[in-house]
Each structure stands twice: as structure tokens, then as C-alpha cells.
């Protein structure tokens, strides 16, 4: 399939109700965990995304059949345990696929998984994943860009999993997926507390694992001999839900998002309050809208329950319309600022020093051709375009398709004027 772009006509207030899809970042490690199951798994509320399709392809190469049924559930079954190799061509496309390492090692005693490499917003190391698996007794070598891990049976251990940037979401998941089949007890200290880690733990518990404390910094796991298949529902996507709420706010409309757990969005609501963006929240429905311009805010992204790095770009798009000067600092990915240059093309006033940006609010942005460089940067450009004067062309939208289920369909149902078109413009050679 060729490249595609969005053409967005700005200036339409979004109004109405949409339903959030299941969480991408919960669904991906849960799918990886199906490697551990003796029987079939049936997983509901899995979003329809390129990243999910992609992980399904990797699982198939590892002997796991993955099929979506008529109800939209993903049904998985391990049909062969012969292949334990996840090649570079696949892992380098999607970091989350590194999550097959823990389950392969625990279940099959051997895994050869490519190191994922960096991504559009910088170096993304996996030292914590490897530290945790080594502590469980795995023999780990790095050869020719591959992690080769072996263990007869892993042994429970006390593992401190904090790094220089705090906890690791997928690192905690990888180690947890290995420890569930280890002999004896594992305690992960400085575990990530994200709702997606809790969801993975709940999935493993449904398979028969013994896990306590997920959602806190200390997770205690008692190893079991085998895990069964199970029936499970993935939690709603808090990042998608907040992105849609911000689409309501930036267009001065009013958007209601259903199928959300509002307790997952406390840090976002806190900033909405500070910015005087009006919102209501009740069980599983949240709404946000805005009359005038938001007040300025200061945002430092932090691990959960702090403000998520995965919403930094979208919130920045919103604060381009702030009354005063807002300050953004990404404490998790200091280089996750590729959207800044593109927002500036639309007339945003942004001063950047290292990982800190000051956004001087303005009352208008102008449509322009812009380029998505990663998933959340792409979403931010779409939000900016919805509120800008005139037409915006957002290129490289395959990034957005990785993580937003039917994004333009949902926006269109709220009144956005957005079209998906083939992108025939020539690929730009890198500027020098």
C-alpha cells in the first residue's frame, strides 16, 4: 500500500459522543503473554491497529496462531514451540515486540530476539529488561545485534528495576511475564505502576499466575508450573480517550468519550482544571469542551500517575492557543519533540532549550503541509489542524495508524472535516 495523508479543513467545532477503543499499550504485552498459555486465549477490546497486526505477525512466526473472530475478539493458540527467533526486520519495526523475550525464555527456555534499536524520539535502551531477566537466572549474551537468552528453569529473585529515567513499563512487563513461571518468589522493586502493567498482571492472573501489588512500585510474584488459556477484556485506551477530549477542547466544541476509566486520567484532568478547560467525569464517560482560550500551564511528563509522555505533544498543540506562556518538559523522553518544528510551520510560537519548550499562546494557527514523525506527534498535528485556519495536509499518517483505531472516522463522527488521500508527493531527501 502506498503512502497516505490527511487533508483537514480547520475551524469546525467537534461535538458529540465517541467510544474509546481498547488500549494499545495494554493489548501488545498481553498478546505477547499468550506465548505462555497451554490452551487457547480469547481477548476482547483489542484495538484494530497496525501495531497489533504487526505483533500478530511476529507471534505467528513464533508458532502462535492469532485470528480475529466475527465479534472482533482475538483468539490465540500456541501451535508449535519450535521457533524462538524474533528477527531484526520485525523487532526493529516495533519496540513492543521486544516483549516476547520474557515469555519465550520462561516457556521455551531459549529466546533469540533482536535488539530493537532507537526510535524517532531517541535512544530507547533495554538494559532494565536484561537486568531483570539475568536476576532470574537467565544466561544472556548479545551477539551480532541479538539478545540470546537461555535458562533451564528461571528462579525467583528480588529485582530492583529503577533506571536513570525511572521505571520501565515494558521492562516491568517483560520481567513479570518471565517470573510467573519461575521457581519460587520474585519481588520487583521500582516496578512501573501504569494501568497497562496492571492489565497485563490481571491477564496473567486470569491464566493462573500468582501476582500481588501490580499498580504499586512493588510487585510480588509466586511462580507456578503452568498457565492455562483464558477469556479477557483489555482496558480502554486512556491516551486515545484524552486525545479525543483534547480535540473537543481545541475546537471549542464538546466531546464525550465513552468506555473510559476516568481514574486513569487524573493528571490530565488536573491540567484541564489549571487551564480552565471545562470537563465532567462520571463512571466511564468523560466530556471536555472550552469556550475561550485555555490558561497557560506547566507540564512535566512523569511515570504514572504523572502526566503521560504519550500526551505531551497533543497537550502542546492545545496550549499553542493558550492565553499566556506554557512550559513543557518531557522527563521521560527528552528528545520527544519532533512535533515542535511542524507546529511552528503552522504559526505556533515555541522556544526550545534542550528538553524544555516555552509555548507562547496565540489566537490562531494556519493550515500548512506538515509531516508526522511518530504516533503522538502525528496526533498533535491533527489536533492543531482541526483548530487552524484553512487546510492542513498531514503526511506520513502511517504513524497515526499504528496507534489510533479509526482516528479519522471518530473525528468525522464528531463533525471534523478530514479526508484520507493517497500521498503522491515525492519522498523528501533528508535536508543537509
Q: Contacts with ligand EPU: how many residues (CB under 6 A)?
A: 26
> Which lies closer to ligand EPU via its Cβ, residue 168 or residue 326?
168
Query: What 8-state DSSP symbol labels residue 324?
Result: S
Minimum CB–partner distance for residue 12 and ligand EPU (Å): 26
Contact region for ligand EPU (CB under 6 A) — 54-62, 103-111, 163-171, 230-238? 163-171
Applying CB under 6 A, which of residues 126, 201, 235, 377 lies at the interface with ligand EPU? 126
Q: Of residues 84-113, which lie at the interface with ligand EPU (CB under 6 A)?
A: 95-96
Minimum CB–partner distance for residue 104 and ligand EPU (Å): 17
Minimum CB–partner distance for residue 332 and ligand EPU (Å): 5
Exposed / middle / buried, residue 335 (Cβ in 10 Å: 0-12, 13-18, 19+): middle
Question: Phi/psi zone of residue 252: left (φ > 0), alpha (ψ -120 to 50 degrees), beta?
Answer: left
Q: Is 338 in the site for ligand EPU (CB under 6 A)?
A: no
Catalytic-labelled residue, pool 119, 193, 283, 357: 119
Exposed / middle / buried, residue 344 (Cβ in 10 Å: 0-12, 13-18, 19+): middle
> Which lies closer to ligand EPU via its Cβ, residue 76 or residue 309?
309
Minimum CB–partner distance for residue 331 and ligand EPU (Å): 8
Applying CB under 6 A, which of residues 45, 84, 97, 168 lies at the interface with ligand EPU? 168
Establish whether the linkage from the previous residue to 305 is cis, with ω within 30° of 0. yes
Q: Is 237 in the site for ligand EPU (CB under 6 A)?
A: no
Distance (Å, rounded) from C-alpha 282 to C-alpha 139? 49
Applying CB under 6 A, which of residues 128, 286, 288, 318 lies at the interface with ligand EPU? 128
Query: What 8-state DSSP symbol labels residue 392?
Result: E
Active-site residue, 99 included: no
Q: Which is nearest to 192 in space by CA: 158, 151, 162, 159? A: 162
Distance (Å, rounded) from C-alpha 225 to C-alpha 36? 11
> Which lies closer to ligand EPU via its Cβ, residue 56 or residue 192?
192
Distance (Å, rounded) from C-alpha 59 to C-alpha 36? 12
Exposed / middle / buried, residue 144 (Cβ in 10 Å: 0-12, 13-18, 19+): exposed
Minimum CB–partner distance for residue 170 and ligand EPU (Å): 3
Please state the separation of Cα 354 from the chain's center in Å: 24
Instruction: Name the residues annotated as catalytic.
Output: 119
Residues in touch with ligand EPU (CB under 6 A): 25, 28, 95-96, 124-129, 163-165, 168-171, 192, 196, 309-310, 332-333, 375-376, 403
Amino acid at each position: 500500500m502506498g503512502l497516505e495523508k490527511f487533508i483537514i479543513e480547520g475551524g469546525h467545532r467537534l461535538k458529540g459522543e465517541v467510544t474509546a477503543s481498547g488500549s494499545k499499550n495494554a493489548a501488545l504485552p498481553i498478546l505477547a503473554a499468550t506465548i505462555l498459555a497451554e490452551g487457547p486465549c480469547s481477548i476482547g477490546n483489542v484495538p484494530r491497529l497496525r501495531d497489533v497486526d504487526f505483533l500478530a505477525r511476529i507471534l505467528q512466526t513464533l508458532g502462535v496462531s492469532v485470528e480475529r473472530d466475527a465479534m472482533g475478539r482475538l483468539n490465540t493458540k500456541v501451535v508449535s514451540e519450535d521457533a524462538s527467533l524474533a528477527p531484526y526486520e520485525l523487532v526493529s519495526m516495533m519496540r513492543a515486540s521486544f516483549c516476547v523475550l520474557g515469555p519465550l525464555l520462561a516457556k521455551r527456555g531459549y529466546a533469540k530476539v533482536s535488539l530493537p534499536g532507537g526510535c524517532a524520539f531517541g535512544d530507547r535502551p533495554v538494559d532494565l529488561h536484561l537486568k531483570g531477566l539475568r536476576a532470574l537466572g537467565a544466561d544472556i549474551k548479545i551477539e551480532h545485534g541479538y539478545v540470546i537468552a537461555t535458562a533451564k528453569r528461571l528462579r525467583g529473585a528480588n529485582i530492583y528495576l529503577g533506571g536513570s529515567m525511572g521505571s520501565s513499563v515494558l521492562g516491568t512487563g517483560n520481567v513479570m511475564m518471565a517470573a510467573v513461571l519461575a521457581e519460587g518468589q520474585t519481588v520487583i522493586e521500582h516496578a512501573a505502576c501504569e494501568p497497562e502493567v496492571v492489565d497485563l498482571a490481571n491477564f496473567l492472573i486470569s491464566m493462573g499466575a500468582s501476582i500481588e501489588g501490580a499498580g504499586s512500585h512493588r510487585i510480588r510474584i509466586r511462580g507456578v508450573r503452568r498457565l492455562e488459556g483464558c477469556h479477557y477484556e483489555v482496558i480502554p485506551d486512556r491516551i486515545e480517550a484524552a486525545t479525543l477530549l483534547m480535540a473537543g477542547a481545541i475546537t471549542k466544541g464538546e466531546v464525550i468519550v465513552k468506555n473510559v476509566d476516568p481514574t486513569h486520567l487524573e493528571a490530565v484532568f488536573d491540567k484541564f482544571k489549571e487551564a480552565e478547560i471545562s470537563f465532567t467525569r462520571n463512571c466511564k464517560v468523560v466530556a471536555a469542551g472550552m469556550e475561550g482560550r485555555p490558561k497557560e500551564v506547566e507540564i512535566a511528563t512523569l511515570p504514572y500517575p504523572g502526566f503521560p509522555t504519550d500526551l505531551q505533544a497533543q497537550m502542546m498543540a492545545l496550549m499553542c492557543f493558550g492565553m499566556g506562556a506554557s512550559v513543557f518538559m518531557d522527563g521521560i523522553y527528552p528528545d520527544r519533540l519532533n512535533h515542535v518544528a511542524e507546529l511552528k510551520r503552522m504559526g505556533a510560537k515555541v522556544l526550545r532549550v534542550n528538553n524544555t519548550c516555552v509555548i507562547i499562546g496565540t489566537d490562531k494557527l494556519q493550515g500548512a503541509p506538515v509531516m508526522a514523525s511518530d504516533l503522538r506527534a502525528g496526533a498533535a498535528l491533527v489536533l492543531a489542524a482541526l483548530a487552524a485556519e484553512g487546510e492542513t495536509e498531514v503526511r506520513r499518517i502511517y504513524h497515526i495508524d499504528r496507534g489510533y483505531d479509526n482516528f479519522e472516522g471518530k473525528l468525522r463522527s464528531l463533525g471534523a472535516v478530514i479526508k484520507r488521500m493517497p500521498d503522491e508527493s515525492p519522498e523528501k531527501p533528508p535536508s543537509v
